[in-house]
Amino acid sequence: MGKVVLGVAVGVAVAACTVAALVVGRRVRSRRKWKRVVGVLKEMEESCETTVGRLKQVVDAMAVEMHAGLASEGGSKLKMLLTFVDNLPSGSEKGIFYALDLGGTNFRVLRVELGGQRSDLDPDVEQQPIPEQLMTGRSEDLFDFIASSLYQFVEKNDSVQSPITKLLGFTFSFPVKQTSVSSGVLIKWTKGFAIRDMVEKEVAGALQQALTRKGLNMRVSVLVNDTVGTLALGHYHDADTVAAVIIGTGTNACYWERTDAIIKCQGLLTTSGGMVVNMEWGNFWSSHLPRTSYDIELDAESPNPNDQESDFKDVRRVGCFWTGFFQVIFAFHLKDTINGCNARRRLPRINTSCKNLKRRS
């Protein structure tokens, strides 16, 4: 009996030691994994560090590019596009106005009534997603779809058969070479759009033709970038507003500039002595900006690797279009590091369609 008890005791002790060893082993492995995680996060923090000194260097580099862009076409990474908007809202405007906002995977139509005296705005707004096939198909199909949606929106609020021509403000958030306050030529698509027959074509004219085909008595009276629209809204509420920044699918900025400082348009006179300049700063790049290994890998997998003119340069860092892809790369690397795997896996070629973007994000 004593031997049996002793045997049981020894067995229990061995089992206890085994369990203890397993627990200790798991804790050791867990600690090792945690140290690897901390190491990866510390590496990321250090590689993304932006000190005040570094930020000042970026500011100086951008100022140089701004001056170069104002001096000549193509002389800078910043396009510094003329908008021909030489006056901003004063707040005294009255009347009913319509607007169309196209600049991403959705477009919005708006109706707003202004009462003067910087009155509060309470616009009627409808938003619609753009079918993926229209983002890469024909321009006529895209604008016919938009015109149909606008027709239905106007029909809910006013008479579409009215003999009075309604004025429409068109916010088009893609790089455009403006030829007047109400016309401009598309330079290139960004944000997943790739409608080839629209590049280097007049944008407002394409929309106007679609409105005419739909039988909608409406005239495109102004064509602006979303940054310019944001600046106009800010100035409507506060006359001291002189600049606007967009941080969304992409990022961009515009500001009020004196016409005598815009050397590339010498001889152009405005009643106000100034004009809004669309910076198109998405293509800005400075060696002072941090560039991580994840940036390099994402660039290699982007539709335009190593292309200084692609929209990847800005939106990877600020805009949300590439954020999901960046997260995927970092998550893969973190998982491999935790598991002790040093080999970087090859990611599938990036598909920038809306569904893929949402799924990866």
By annotation, the residues acting in catalysis are: 191, 226
Q: What is the DSSP letter of 263?
A: G
Helix (H, G, I), strand (E, B) or coil at 179: strand
Tell me if 80 sits within 8 A of 277, measured CB to CB: yes
Extract the tokens encoding 279: 């910076």
Instruction: Measure the CA–CA gap between 345 and 241, rounded to whole angstroms.
Output: 48
Closest to 86 (Cα-Cα) out of 281, 279, 280, 268: 268
Strand 218-224's sheet: what is its strand order? Answer: 124-129, 106-115, 94-102, 166-172, 218-224
Contact 188, 175 (CB under 8 A): yes
345: which DSSP letter?
A: P
Write out the DSSP string of 192-252.
Answer: T---GGGTTSBHHHHHHHHHHHHT--EEEEEEE-HHHHHHHHHHHH-TT--EEEEESSSEE
Number of Cβ atoms within 10 Å of the Cβ of 244: 22
- What crossing angle do the helices spanning 203-214 and 139-157 adopt, rounded to 10°? 60
Structure tokens at 137: 């198909």
Please state the φ and ψ torsions of residue 106, each to the nearest 5 degrees. -130, 155
Contacts of 281 (CB under 8 A, 6+ apart): 62, 78, 251, 252, 253, 314
User: CA 147 to CA 138: how far, in whole Å?
Assistant: 15
- The CA R_g of the chain, rounded to the nearest whole Å, is 28
